[in-house]
A and B are shown apart, each in its own frame.
Chain A
Amino acid sequence: MPHFPEEILEQIFSYITHCRDRNALSLVSKTWYDLDRRTRHSVFIGNCYALAPERSIKRFPNWVVGLARDCPDLRELRLKRMLVSDPTLLLISGSFPNFRSLALIGCHGFSADGLSAITAKCRFLEHLDLQESEAGNDSGQWLSSFPESFTSLISLNFGSLRGAVNLDDLMSLVARCPNLKNLRVNKAVPLLTLPQILLRAPQLVELGIEPRAHHVDPGSHTRLYEAIRKCKSIQSLSLSGALHIALSCQFHISAIFPKLISLDIISVMEGRILGFINLLTHCHKLQRLRV
């Protein structure tokens, strides 16, 4: 076959969505490499330091500037352990009209203002994952910047941010996103408020909390577990060291834990091991445990 029209190849490429498949096909020839570059919807850069700078510039020149120019249909971006600046986030927020998913994993260098650009301008955002990342100058303005008309969120993880959060805005956001499945909140969200948030998201599948105080009255633990129990689809719980909370509400957890597929405790204090093991005996479906 002397010449295969590029417009057909582009069409074929548009149906290849898995990064691994695209990587393999970009080895076919330079033209195919180029086609992949032009038609990618998602880019994951797991370790920028493994990439010689000139290679990264060739492939995705100048980070987002290049992505914005060459991949206008980009929908998904995952960056891990990278320096990400506010101008970069600003550029992302304005360059990809169909942008759906941003994951900044263990990233730093940006502030809550950069995040505000994303939350205010990416109208179709479904996933915002900030695990292990930090934002400077964070007074929760990013969370309050989601427009009133915004309803598309599926997962939100800001467990590692240190800033305050406007709880009314968080509640309103949760209430207007009917597809929210995964929520991980930071320390600024008090235990007392969580039941009210959960009440607005009975469809939740994964919940992560970062309890601040170690001695909260047992009544609020009970209310929390009662609220979790009402989330009928809950499958994954991340308690970030709050095992004591779980242990103090045996009655309610026995209603929740049999449903869990994933449990994330982070740390088990000495002296609680027995209680912990006892708790695990309730977890008949558990597939993943992190301690």
Chain B
Amino acid sequence: MSKTSLIIKREYLTRIRKKSFLIMSILGPFIFAAYVLIPMYFATLEDKEEKTVVVIDESTLFTEYGPEGPHCVLPETEYLKFKIIEGVPLESYQAGFDATGYYAVLFIPQNILASESSILYSTRQISMDVSGHIRSAMEQELEHLKLAAHDIHNIEEILAEVETSVNVRNIKWTKAGEAEESNTGVVMGVGYMGGLLTFFFIFFFGSQVMRGVIEEKTSRIIEVIVSSVRPFQLMMGKIIGVGLTGLTQFAIWIVFSILLIAGIGTAFFPELTRTPTEQVVASDLFSPGAVTPDPGTTGEPAEIAGNAGGDAEEQAMGTEAGIPEAGGGKITGDEMGLAGEIFASLRTIDPVVMILSFLFYFIFGYLLYAAMFAVVGSAVDNETDTQQLIWPVILPLILAIYVMISAINNPDGSLAFWFSLIPFTSPVVMMVRIPFGVPWWQVALSASLLVATFLGMTWVAGKVYRTGILMYGKKTSYREIWKWLRYSS
């Protein structure tokens, strides 16, 4: 067995046998699942709290008198109710409002038509959802009233006919001339995950390399080892060994997380039990124009699809997009639920390209940074001394995260372009761009720059490392490291 593989084996085995590896393997998926599930849990919590808003309607435009007394014309939702109260002055709510159990007071002044402003009073911060709902409901109601004032015959029918909802589907033409459905949100999500995972991997396992180097230095075994192997072999063995540990840990996490999210999802969020595939399969069972699985989102277009014009338009769209049998039972935008749309969008991302490029940027990004982390480790005597030296290593990584966030919204912009070429940021930034589709020459250029920089950086790191590991007791600066670089081998 070659010496480098002996080192790799030792690094790998001692690491995966550690208790912390086991603990992280178990906890990691829980943390991961918590990231996904806790916001979902809170979202459902908030929705289910019923809120009643008292309406003081001085204009009486929003009040309707029924047999059970006055009630508000504003549309209610499952969790947001309105209650008209007459004859009670606004001021009387001000003191001790919390005791009433109401969420807020909506004050509609007499001159609402002219002033176009109303006020929501509450003792708490009013959520965006509630104020947004009230605003649009009032706007709609007032528009209706103003239209009605024009006294046009058949206004309701005209409005119903005019009512239009345009569904803009994103269809991407592939090189082969096929059309694919794409949902930007899904593609963004995939890119975001890819970039974030790469960042996390580099950061977490890069610093493990650094700690490993420091451990060898402080335990003083380093001199024994480098009397048997080249410092470069030791450094590369460690980097590769830690990298394999990381890949193993990730594989465990991914498998485990999927099981966990699926398990918890089934138990607590039954609506998630159907996988996207199942949902698409289910929606396939319905023929076009029939009742769609989710009337909430697709009800209106389905209605329009009932008349000839709409249908023709849809057919035209289908043929334009080059989908054979667009209206003939295949998935169309109309009948496809959100899950179906996600599924179709995921299909626009070539899994082979995605996985290969992910592995490539993941591995080479890690290798590039691990070499730099190794240098920092070799330059210090203990972990606390790493503080000042680590910044130049971490800074480009943090920059990559900032650029990544902007690149998600504009994957073909010049910022995203340049930072996906620069090797220190490309592993993260390019991962975000890949799901959107990147010209092959850009990927090739970025990849070769990354490999070249990795080779150069490893060479430089090897030179600094072999001097650094034998230095003790000095506070090292980058100036010192520059000197080491010029020592003869």
- Same assembly: no
Interface set of B (CB-CB < 8 Å, partner A) = none
